[in-house]
Structure 1
């Protein structure tokens, strides 16, 4: 099986990143305006082997590490952050499987077969209307009960903010068991040959967001969705371990998603530089790029982005090398990196004025997209609480 997959997975072609990014950028504005899912963009990412970059070598993949993912997501984020986000969720799934083997073998092999045949997006559906994000604690209202005749699970619940829902091939649904003496929590793996065509599964088009509009993070409704009895991942007694998040995955999330939004900020910086070179007010008689005030402000933006990109990239390399401090420091890197990205874009907007908020220019889209960096787990208050508590405990 591994040899077969190795022959059929698209080979990883990092040298094609600029080409793929250019293709994504061509339609990013259209998808943003329409709120439409960028299926063709995901296809470009797949064809270059970027969607399966983290499939482990033992499964026939390239075994890309976090440093590779950081580079991929930063470049894709500069072109279309919605495509980058659904790519990130899939890359994180493969990376986690490489170390935890959390997916049962036959189901993960099926995912690899799907990935060989075409783009196979995966995402973990965790957030619920009442619970909110499980990173704050609590158990899901989504339930899984056994069919006594077949041994299958019947999954019922309501998930919100299901990124890429309309394009997912696999849904990893966080739920708790019913009809057991001690309920367990974990992920139940739902395969969608065509998303939305699984009996009992429907996608409600509720996503009408400020940013990342093309991510189609819609609601997912499950009504007795049938799941094979062994299609579970990490099913545990909630009192025996922290069910909220795999610690290793948090590092990928912290650094990978921060790189994505730094890519958004770099795109904003690039547009700003072009604008300042082309804009020549009649009263000035020369481009704005020659004015010292604008030069200094671009310097402020550059200083923040260069520092944040270097920090995230360096920590990713250290993590790949097995440095435990890199994982510990990834929280602070997320805080610093996302703040730098937001600040850079806001500075660009303030510098340009009305033109920055005009929809014919991409800067207003970059501003809306970069603000979404704040909502990803862990949020700033959680990061600061962890860092502060740890520092005080060392006294």
Structure 2
């Protein structure tokens, strides 16, 4: 199961707005119609959690559970991104798809006060998402270390790993990854407040990007060759910047919280 939220016209719901995807209540159940893009895992999923709105004057907004094999569900293979190509994040089209009435979950009227974000759930989302990109950076680090040990320029007569410059670079990368490991393990063990979830994502993904950048800088053209996995790691790790929450929203939220806390003192 995965959540299908992003739409062609609205974009990411993290920036606000109502979904265009509609759920119409009938005697038989809900009839759902709409289009969702960036539907990660599309072909491999069994269930879709579809963010939609009812057709009421004051619409219900939330998630409807849709089995992937339901009549009216189709997947258009539109995912053609630079990075994370294997995520199969294609477009999902729902054409009058029928689901039972009890498949409307966590829905509430649009006019009602919106429920507070599940802090613990968001923290775990940040941990799991950030771990993906940390793993990409670890793979880049491993490739670089192996390459530096094997690369022996004829004018040097020794492996590049023997040079202080490259030892420093690997040390820098390992220090960034150590910071990531410390942050992720602390959160997984319950030592990180849920209020810091967005900052966790910001720091871990930023460190991961910088680690891969350092590997690219150290390896030069061999690292950017299409035959090298390092260029794939670089493309993949950059995708972390577009995952919600994005950096500007993270930093603005942290700064806003600082001033709100001071105002209460």
After TM superposition, the score normalised by the length of structure 2 is 0.95
Q: Deviations over 1:286-326 (max 9, x none)?
A: 0000000000111111111101211121122125xxxxx52
Question: Residue 202 of structure 2 aligns with which residue?
Answer: 335
- Report how far residue 134 of structure 1 moved: 0.6
Where in structure 2 are the equivalents of 1:182-193 lying within 5 Å? 182-193=58-69
Q: Partner of 2:100 in structure 1?
A: 228
- Give SS of 1:394's match: helix
1:154 matches 2:31: yes
Distance change in 2, residues 1:186/1:229 (3 Å): same
Residue in structure 2 matched with residue 362 of structure 1 by the alignment: 229
1:386 aligned to which of 253, 256, 263:
253
What are the within-5 Å matches in structure 2 for residues 245-394 of structure 1? Answer: 246-318=118-190, 326-394=193-261
Aligned length: 262
CA displacement, residues 361-388 of structure 1 (integer Å, 9 cap, x when unaligned): 1100100110111111100001001111
Unaligned runs of 5+ in 2: none
Are 2:3 and 1:131 aligned? no
| 5+ long unaligned stretches in structure 1 | 1-121, 320-324
**Cα distance between partner residues in 2 of 1:374 and 1:245:** 21
Q: How far apart, in 2, do the equivalents of 1:286 and 1:244 lie? A: 59
Give a deviation string over 1:58-85, Cα, whole Å, max 9, x none. Answer: xxxxxxxxxxxxxxxxxxxxxxxxxxxx
What RMSD over aligned residues (CA atoms) do the two structures have, in Å? 1.4
Q: Which residue of 1 aligns with 2:19?
A: 140
Give the helix-richer structure, 1 or 2. Answer: 1
Change (3 A) 1:222 1:259: same
Distance 1:285 1:244, change over 3 A: farther
Alpha-carbon contact 1:200-1:223 (below 8 Å) kept: yes
Q: 1 or 2, which has the higher strand percentage?
A: 2
1:170 partnered with 2:47: yes
Question: In structure 2, do the counterparts of structure 1 residues 142 and 244 end up closer, same or farther at CA, with 3 Å as the change threshold?
Answer: farther
Q: Distance in 1 between matches of 2:14 and 2:115?
A: 9
Describe the shift of the 1:245–1:136 C-alpha distance in structure 2 as closer, same or farther (beyond 3 A). farther
Matches of 1:282 and 1:344 in 2, distance apart?
28
CA distance in 2, matches of 1:147, 1:394: 47
- Rounded to whole Å, the distance in 2 between the matches of 1:200 and 1:391 is 48
**Do the aligned partners of residues 247 and 139 (structure 1) sit closer, same or farther apart at CA in structure 2, a change above 3 Å counting?**
farther
CA distance in 1, matches of 2:71, 2:116: 28
Q: In 2, are the aligned partners of 1:203 and 1:221 still within 8 Å (CA)?
A: yes
